[in-house]
Amino acid sequence: MPRQKLTLFDLDNTLLTGDSDVLWCDFLIEQGILDRAEFSARNADMDARYKAGTVRVREFSEFYVGTLAGRSVDDWKPLRDEFLASEIIPRIPQAARELVRRHQDAGDLIAITTATNRFITELTARHLDVEHLIATDIEIIDGVVSGRTEGQLNMREGKVVRLHAWLASHGRTRSDFEITAYSDSINDLPLLLAVDLPIVVNPDEQLAQWALAGGHTVLNLR
C-alpha cells in the first residue's frame, strides 16, 4: 500500500521572504515597545549567527520569546493582528502560496514547522490555511506571557524530535508517511536528512552547497 504523503514547510525565508523573529523585533521597535538602541544590534547579531548556524538553540529561542514577556495574550492581540497584516502577508510570495496550494490540492497532510514561536506564527499558518503548526512553544501563566519557552525547542535536531512527537500525538509514526520537507536553512539539515524528499528553497550558502553536492532540488520562490 502506498504511504500517505506528508509535506513539511519551514516558514522563515522559505514560505516567507524574511524572518518572523527579526521582523517582530523590528516591528516592536517601530511601535516603541522595544528600545532601538538596546535591541537593534542584538537582533541583527542573533539573525547573523542563526544564518551561519552558530547560534545556540536556547539562546536564540529565549531572546525572541523574551520580547513577549509581561503582557497578556489579550494585550498582544491587536499588535499580533497588525504585525500579520503589515509585515507578514506582504512578504509571502505568490509562488509560495501556489506551492502550498498544490500540496493541499494533492491531498497531502501538511504542516509548517518553524523555530519561531507559536505565538507569532500561528496567525501566519492560519492565513495560509495550514491547519498543523509545529513551533517552539511559550509559557503562559494566568494569561500572561512569561517570556520563557516551554518544552522541546523546535530547532535543528529539535525539529525531528518534535515531528515524531507530533505524529505520535495523532496516533501515527514516521513509517506511515512519505515525507517531503522544504527549507532554506542549514539549521534544518537534521530535518532534511530525516525525510524522504528534501527540497531546498532560497538556500543559504551552506545549504546550497549541501544541495549541490547531493543533487537535491533547489527552488526559488521569490
pLDDT digits (tens, 9 = 90+) for 51-83: 899 999 999 999 999 999 999 999 999 999 999
CA distance 38 to 57: 21
Mean pLDDT, range 138-148, rounded to an integer: 96
Nearest one of 175, 172, 173, 203 to 189, comparing CA atoms: 203
Amino acid at 207: L
**Considering the chain, what is the average pLDDT of its residues?**
96
Percent of the chain scoring above 90 in pLDDT: 95
Instruction: Give phi and psi for 82, each to the nearest 5.
Output: -65, -40
Which residues 6+ apart lie within 8 Å of 180 measured at CB?
Answer: 5, 6, 7, 8, 103, 108, 195, 196, 197, 198, 199
pLDDT classification of 167: cutoffs 50, 70, 90: very high
pLDDT-based confidence at residue 38 (cuts at 50, 70, 90): confident
* pLDDT for residue 1 is more than 70: no
What average pLDDT score do residues 106-132 get? 97
Q: What is the dihedral of CA 179, 23, 102, 166, to 10 degrees?
A: 30
| Secondary structure of the chain as H, E, C letters | CCCEEEEEECCECCCECCCHHHHHHHHHHHCCCCCHHHHHHHHHHHHHHHHHCCCCHHHHHHHHHHHHCCCEHHHHHHHHHHHHHHHHHHHCCHHHHHHHHHHHHCCCEEEEEEEEEHHHHHHHHHHCCCCEEEEEEEEEECCEEEEEEECCCCCCHHHHHHHHHHHHHCCCCHHHEEEEEEECCHHHHHHHHHCCEEEEECCCHHHHHHHHHHCCCEECCC
Range 82-93 average pLDDT: 98
Phi, psi of 133 (to 5 degrees): -130, 125
Give the residue among 179, 220, 213, 171 at the shortest CA–CA distance from 198. 179
Cβ pair 92, 16 in contact under 8 A: yes
Question: Partners of 141 in the beta sheet?
Answer: 144
User: What pLDDT, on the 0 to 100 scale, is given for residue 222?
Assistant: 87
Decide if pLDDT at 150 tops 80.
yes
Catalytic positions, written as ranges: 10, 12
d(CA 56, CA 12): 18
Answer whether residue 11 shows pLDDT above 70.
yes
When pLDDT is averaged across residues 9-29 and rounded to a whole number, the result is 96
